[in-house]
A and B are shown apart, each in its own frame.
Chain A
Amino acid sequence: MNIENHLEDFKNEIRKVIVGQDEVLDLIFISILKKGHILFESVPGTGKTTLSKALARTIGGSFNRIQFTPDLLPTDITGLNMYNPKTHDFELQIGPIDTNVLLADEINRATPRTQSALLEVMEERQITIDGKRIEIADPFIVLATQNPIESTQGTFSLPEAQMDRFLMRIDLGYPSRREELDMMALHSDASAPKAVQPVFSEALLAKLQIRVANITVDPSVREYMLDIIEKTRHHEHVDVGVSPRGTLALMHAAQGVAMIRGRDYVTPDDIKYIAPYVLPHRLVLSLEGLTLSDQNTVLKAILDDVEVPVEYGVSPDAL
């Protein structure tokens, strides 16, 4: 079975509950291939939670959901040692973090301290409770949602360290007119909605990961990626640029793009396509940058500015 079939299977399952969003599904597929965490960010009512739940089911394995609220504590996520009066001893109770797919719904409604409970597990797939290290199941994928328009009312911005751990930030946006008509038709059907079936087994994910890792990234393309990354670190409107973790994320995501486009090598075009989903949320803008611009605009300017590597004899204008 080739990659196109896997992608189509995945899309068909998601389409049982979500209409359209073809490009978003491509991005999610790439992210799953790399077991990357995804942050869905869009206005209310665009299907973030529905998509996340469907996505979790396609991955199979165990699934937990945490509704982030201001009174949620870090131990509500990771777990804690509870004192048992009968045994006169502390008993370890691991929280909902011990799962394959974790849906962190409305993640920015919890305080930064609580959000930080995910830092260790998102990067190292382990948690430490009172000095005891606990391995978390593989794959471990966090699907987080947040609503950007209520950024000043009872919400807390995600810490930069946490933003950096998300492979992609995806804005679902509004569906097209055609898609919204299809959605209305889907929801006017009185019959029970079809259940989403798992598409990715652990073995399949491992196999696909090896295939993605084998996608060639030419040294000139790597240089191009580094040119972009370095520009983010020296841009006048940026306080903190893309981290080395972000560099790796960009390379891995570009390999995923090449794979679903049926190539075994990465082109600068793949990088230009995927960078707006992988890099902007890693940029910390200065106060002036924040007032004059935004993360996406800064990245677009950088992508326009960085020279694209071309084959000898080919004019960059011809691309």
Chain B
Amino acid sequence: MAFFTGAVLILLIMNILYSVDLNPLLVLALGFFMSFFVLDLIYEKIVPGKLVASIRNKDIRLFKGQENVLEIEIRNEGWMPILNAAFRLTAGDDIQFEKDISLKTRYQTETIASFTVMPKSSTILKVPFKARKRGVSKIIRTDIEVPRIFGFGSLFLVQSGRSSHEIMVYPEQLHTPPFDMRNKMIQGLFIQRKAMFNDPMLTVGTRDYHQRDSMRDVHWKASAKTGELKTRIYEKTTHLSWMIAINLRSEKNYAPPANIEAVIENITYLTSRAAELQIPYSVFTNLSSFDSNTFLSRVEGSGGLHYKSTLEVLARINTLSFTLSFDRLLKHLYLHEALPSHLLFTGRTDPAIEELLMSFQAKGVEIFQVEESGVQPYNAYRRSGSRVPI
């Protein structure tokens, strides 16, 4: 194109300065090329500023192995058509695009989709993908290659700034045998039929007064109505809460344990069971966090929404990130968090960790070790050879 433009300009200059007579057909051709050159300049000026690409499905959440479709809306707000353009999308390799073209770069998946969009209209690109492994896949880069309509070659538009869009891949659930969880003989708020304690704030009914019943439990209104003493029946409650501590360090080095993914999948299963049974639980990891909490964690809660946020925490565990020692995490939990009824921890133990586990056990906390095969009761005293507390 530049060659023809140069030729046109030279011929024009010769025509003006030296009065060179030009063949009319040549003049027509020159005019043709000139107009194309001008249109190409306009096209180059207009297209980039008037093309808006946005991802329609903002929050994509899926489990490992599931498939989904990324919908990208491309809006052409200008008055020039965009024909047979190519949209190149690069994302983290926690997902894999159906038509993955990445060859050289590790930890990335890449795909190209072509599109045509007319002036003042929009089109939607559908990019199918599959969740490959647990993690958070971010959109790393987007490029658009727009062929020049009035010239040769293409315009290359590159994404400026970072994309905040992310696709979250939850871990799978590794089903393991149920574990025997003894009830704590502590007053609490967890409603359980077999519990030993009553919650005096939750009256569920009345019964006839028995001689040994406390006068405090008499339901005076019901007694007045029926003409005989009635005793309140309270909801049975106990203290039940799980604290899950995930160790992301191996026994002797900073690398994550070899079975960490299986352990995380087991914890996914355990937390889903806790969510179904409405058992409150918290999750802590020894992964350093830069927000208000020292460790990447999820504070205590229960139910479906809590499970969802737990899955997000589990998906965000990056085993290549900076970890702190597990005994430091346990010490933090012992000193700063409310003691749970059950502590579930992962990974190997060493004397420092065992000492802290003994501290938990001394306070009446039931301790369990989570491995890929299941959940086993853990007696820190027996392991360390210390005297079992009475």
Residues of A that sit less than 8 Å from B by CB: 81, 83, 90, 130, 151-152, 157, 285, 287, 290-293
Q: How far is the CA of A207 from the CA of B272 in the complex (A)?
A: 52
Q: How far is the CB of B65 from chain A (nearest CB, A)?
A: 13
Across the interface, which residues of B come within 8 angstroms of A287, CB to CB? 272, 275-276, 304, 307
Query: B61 touches which one: A81, A157, A285, A292 (CB < 8 A)?
Result: A292
Q: Does B170 contact A (CB under 8 A)?
A: yes
Interchain residue pairs A-B with the least CB separation, the first 6? A290-B304, A291-B308, A152-B301, A292-B61, A287-B304, A291-B311
Across the interface, which residues of B come within 8 angstroms of A157, CB to CB? 303
Q: Give the one of A90, A130, A291, A293 with max B CB within 10 A.
A: A291
Q: Does B63 contact A (CB under 8 A)?
A: yes
Does A292 lie within 8 Å of B62, measured CB to CB? Answer: yes
Q: Give the one of B221, B272, B306 with max A CB within 10 A.
A: B221
Name B57's closest neighbour in chain A (CB-CB): A297
Q: Mark B40-70, 1 if CB is under 8 A from A, else 0.
A: 0000000000000000000001110000000
Q: Mark B210-243, 1 if CB is under 8 A from A, else 0.
A: 0000000000010011000000000000000000
Query: A285 touches which one: B224, B276, B304 (CB < 8 A)?
Result: B304
Does B224 lie within 8 Å of A152, measured CB to CB? Answer: no
Q: How far is the CB of B149 from chain A (nearest CB, A)?
A: 28
Does A291 lie within 8 Å of B306, measured CB to CB? Answer: no
Q: Does B305 contact A (CB under 8 A)?
A: yes
Name A286's closest neighbour in chain B (CB-CB): B304
Secondary structure of the B contact surface, majority rule: helix
Q: List 12 A-B contacts (CB under 8 A).
A: A90-B224, A152-B301, A152-B306, A285-B304, A287-B275, A287-B307, A290-B304, A291-B61, A291-B170, A291-B304, A291-B308, A291-B311
Does B306 lie within 8 Å of A293, measured CB to CB? Answer: no
Does B305 lie within 8 Å of A290, measured CB to CB? Answer: yes
Name B220's closest neighbour in chain A (CB-CB): A83
Q: How far is the CA of A227 from the CA of B307 in the complex (A)?
A: 32
Q: How far is the CA of A143 from the CA of B303 in the complex (A)?
A: 27
Across the interface, which residues of A come within 8 angstroms of B275, CB to CB? 287
Name B203's closest neighbour in chain A (CB-CB): A113
Q: How far is the CA of A285 from the CA of B107 in the complex (A)?
A: 34
Q: How far is the CA of A8 from the CA of B301 in the complex (A)?
A: 46
Q: How far is the CA of A292 from the CA of B312 in the complex (A)?
A: 11
Name A152's closest neighbour in chain B (CB-CB): B301
Q: How far is the CA of A30 from the CA of B225 in the complex (A)?
A: 45
Query: B63 touches which one: A90, A151, A292, A293 (CB < 8 A)?
Result: A292
Across the interface, which residues of A come within 8 angstroms of B63, CB to CB? 292
Across the interface, which residues of B come within 8 angstroms of A152, CB to CB? 301, 305-306
Across the interface, which residues of A come within 8 angstroms of B304, CB to CB? 285, 287, 290-291
Does B224 lie within 8 Å of A290, measured CB to CB? Answer: no
Q: Mark B262-275, 1 if CB is under 8 A from A, else 0.
A: 00000000001001
Across the interface, which residues of A come within 8 angstroms of B276, CB to CB? 287
Across the interface, which residues of A come within 8 angstroms of B221, CB to CB? 81, 83
Q: How far is the CB of B230 from chain A (nearest CB, A)?
A: 14
Q: How far is the CA of A90 from the CA of B306 in the complex (A)?
A: 45
Q: How far is the CA of A291 from the CA of B275 in the complex (A)?
A: 11
Across the interface, which residues of B come within 8 angstroms of A292, CB to CB? 61-63
Across the interface, which residues of B come within 8 angstroms of A130, CB to CB? 225
Query: B307 touches which one: A83, A151, A290 (CB < 8 A)?
Result: A290
Name B272's closest neighbour in chain A (CB-CB): A287
Q: How far is the CA of A227 from the CA of B220 in the complex (A)?
A: 53
Across the interface, which residues of A come within 8 angstroms of B225, CB to CB? 130
